A and B are shown apart, each in its own frame.
Chain A
Amino acid sequence: MSDRVPNKGIAKCPTGITGLDQITEGGLPKGRPTLLCGTAGAGKSVLAMEFLVRGATEFKEPGVFMAFEETDRDLRENVASLGFDLPGLCARKRLFLDNVRIERNEIEESGDYDLEGLFVRLENAIDEVGAKRVVLDTIESLFSGFANGNILRAEIRRLFRWLKAKGVTAVITAETGDGKLTRHGIEEYVADCVIMLDHRVEDQTSIRRLRVMKYRGSQHGTNEYPFLIGTTGVSVLPLSSLKLEHKAPTQRISSGIPRLDEALGGKGFYRGSSVLVSGVAGTGKSSLAAHFVQAACMRGERALYMASEQSALEVIRNMGSIGIRLEPWIKRGLLRIYASRPGTFGLEKHLVTTHDITAAFNPKVVVIDPITNFASTGTHSEVKSMVTRLIDLFKARQITGMYTSLTSADGTPELSNVGISSQMDSWLMLRNLESNGEHNRGLHVLKSRGMAHSNQIREFKLTGQGLQLLDVFVGTTGLLTGSARIAQQAKEITEHAEHNRQLQQRGFEQKRRHRELELQVARLRSDFELDERDSPDRVNETGLQEKQIARGRLVRAHGRKADVPARRNGRTPREHRAASQTAGR
């Protein structure tokens, strides 16, 4: 039920019917007649009855149900399955049932008449319970009871005016036919609000739809909305609740796999987000989902696992094989596994079941495994709209949803996700990595809104201790998996050892070189010192030699009795000696 009341415009009468008040922005026009038309079996009577029952039980507005087709007993029995206690409501004067029986063959007409009898009855019934709501189901039956259509039209017109004057909110049902909204065109008289119900079968799946065709003086959703008749009455399922008004919690929850959380910005998924896990058969989607569920239970949160391909016991057994024990959580009431095939009752039914279970169990996380099973039960657009509603249902309740999606092995996986990938906040892709004649499992985060996620394709293994992400080994040809990874691992170990050895070697070498250099430096230093010490002696020596030479020359000259040599080049011998010494340097 919507608590939104329009600021201005006409007064509304809340129906209390799930979704309908949202579409009509508050309910039906208060104090005015509404036409509810549809094909036979579309759910007109049930919806009309629920309008009265909810009015009587939730809004303190007693009602009158005037049935032109069914007897009281039929009526009671028909709606008993919806949990409406008509006898009780009648006894407490919250509801008044009047059954108008018209037997055409019992009635002869002679001359002029009017339907004052109907007015009297209706007024009497309204007064009886102080009714604020009235249902006339199906007033067009009168056309089969009376031959004079002109009188009837005039009287029906008068009846609607009368209802308006009475100030009761009325619902008049009528059968669609002959290409018109109502067989006898009574929509001409009820012009305030027209709601159309439809029940059709497409691809052997029955789908009920509701559309507000007209609502004078008010805004309303104009689409066709699927609706269901469930165990608690009618539920209209507006798409995306018309507005995207989901809260955006910043709390993060674990995926159940620490290393995956690491890839998701280090903290896991946002609470209330939608996670798509896609992959071909056997890539470990369910296992991932089981981890997610287990993590939730470990946090003490309730988890709902909707399995559509395995029975609950199979899920438990299969997950047990990878070390995820689910029974204890079931026993503690934290986990519920609901297994059913969506095709059994149709998409809407499945959706309403999900709806009911969710409302009753109130889980924090939900897994739908796989969501693609819906695809077989309807056309693409229907499936998409159903899945959207499903996601919406969970999002509105801040439930974190994980949806596994089976993709065909041949097709491009990204394209075959029943068109829902864009609605998902996070998308984990599981894939088979085929190389070297092996099949290995890989995982990567294709997208994850609002977080810095890893773009690395990770290999993972399903072990007895669950799903484990392995270290990344990237070779020249891409990610290395399986034996290639092991080989690479071994190779890297060898390489590492070699590298270490080389490093050591280099260290030795350097030390040796250093030692050599040091030796060299020492030698040079001693040479230098030697050299330094040598220099003055050698100068003296040179002088001494020259002296000796000169002396020798003198001695020889003396011996030859030569004259004392004159100045050589104008220099005394001593001067000459100094000059030659300078030149010799």
Chain B
Amino acid sequence: MMRKTGKVQRKRGCNEWNLRLYIAGQTPRSLAAITNLQKICEQYLPGKYRLEVVDLLKKPQLARGDQILAVPTLVRRLPEPLKRMIGDLSNTEQVLVGLDLRAT
């Protein structure tokens, strides 16, 4: 897998958007979420985001910190305010609204 837990994907050195995606194992749903998220980021935030994928099966203690219950959960750490989005992110429209990307 190209996205290892905790590994940071940098795009053109810009950290304006800090996203973290929590998954639990390489389930089809997790993989779908990763694919969907990458697609959206590349399309709407090219070069402006940083994406971190956390596999809770490997780092279970991290679930507590961000109050993760459902997986997959996408956490928008930056910009403020903190936002969460759960699901496989298959509905692009909802994701854009959820991440406040519609306005941009």
Contacts and interface: CB of A to CB of B under 8 A. Distances in A.
Contact of A117 (B56, B82, B85): B56
B87 A113 contact: yes
Contact of B70 (A98, A101, A117, A123): A117
Contacts of A145: 69
Nearest to B89: A110
A116 interface: yes
Given A110-B94, A142-B69, 13 more contacts: A106-B83, A108-B85, A110-B89, A110-B90, A111-B33, A111-B87, A112-B29, A113-B87, A117-B56, A120-B60, A121-B63, A124-B60, A124-B61
Interface string B61-99: 101100111111100000000111111111100110110
A269 to B, nearest CB: 62
B85 A109 contact: yes
Interface in B6-20: none
Interface in A79-114: 98, 100-102, 106-114
B94 A117 contact: no
13 contacts: A98-B64, A106-B84, A108-B86, A109-B94, A110-B89, A111-B33, A111-B87, A116-B71, A121-B63, A121-B64, A121-B69, A146-B70, A146-B86
A121 B83 contact: no
B31 interface: no
A115 interface: yes
A115 B90 contact: no
B63 A120 contact: yes
A48 B32 CA distance: 39
A248 interface: no
Contacts of A503: none
Nearest to B88: A111
Contacts of B97: 108
Contacts of B71: 113-117
A119 B64 CA distance: 12
Nearest to A155: B70
Which 8 A-B pairs rank lowest in CB-CB distance, beginning with the nearest? A111-B87, A108-B98, A116-B24, A124-B60, A111-B90, A111-B88, A110-B94, A117-B68
Interface of B: 22, 24-25, 29, 32-33, 36, 56-57, 60-61, 63-64, 67-73, 82-91, 94-95, 97-98
A452 interface: no
A116 B90 contact: no
A518 to B, nearest CB: 126
A334 B56 CA distance: 63
B94 A108 contact: yes
Contact of B84 (A98, A108, A116, A120): A108
Given A117-B24, A124-B61, A112 B67 contact: no
Contact of A118 (B36, B69, B87, B88): B69
Contacts of A118: 69-70
Contacts, number: 97
Nearest to A101: B67
Contacts of A101: 67
A113 B68 contact: no
Contacts of B89: 110-111
Contacts of B82: 106
Contacts of A116: 24-25, 56, 70-71
Contact of A112 (B63, B85, B88, B95): B88
B69 A100 contact: yes
Given A109-B85, A110-B86, A117 B98 contact: no
The residue in B33, B57, B63, B84 that gathers the most chain A C-beta atoms within 10 A of its C-beta is B63
A398 B57 CA distance: 58
Interface string A493-510: 000000000000000000
Contacts of B69: 100, 102, 115, 117-118, 121, 142, 145
A152 B37 CA distance: 24
Contact of B60 (A100, A102, A110, A123): A123
Nearest to A108: B98
A112 B60 contact: no
A119 B68 CA distance: 10
B95 A110 contact: yes
A105 B56 CA distance: 24
A108 B83 contact: yes
Given A110-B95, A111-B91, A124 B67 contact: no
The residue in A111, A124, A146 that gathers the most chain B C-beta atoms within 10 A of its C-beta is A111
Contact of A107 (B63, B64, B84): B84
Nearest to A68: B69
A120 B91 contact: no
A124 B64 CA distance: 10
Nearest to B82: A106
Contacts of A100: 67, 69
A108 B91 CA distance: 11
A124 B63 CA distance: 9
Interface in A484-540: none
A113 B91 CA distance: 13
A106 B86 CA distance: 10
B86 to A, nearest CB: 5
A483 B4 CA distance: 106
A113 B60 contact: no
Contacts of B70: 113-118, 146
B85 A120 contact: no
A100 B64 CA distance: 8
A145 B56 CA distance: 20
Contacts of B90: 110-112
The residue in A101, A110, A142, A146 that gathers the most chain B C-beta atoms within 10 A of its C-beta is A110
Contacts of A142: 69
A118 to B, nearest CB: 4
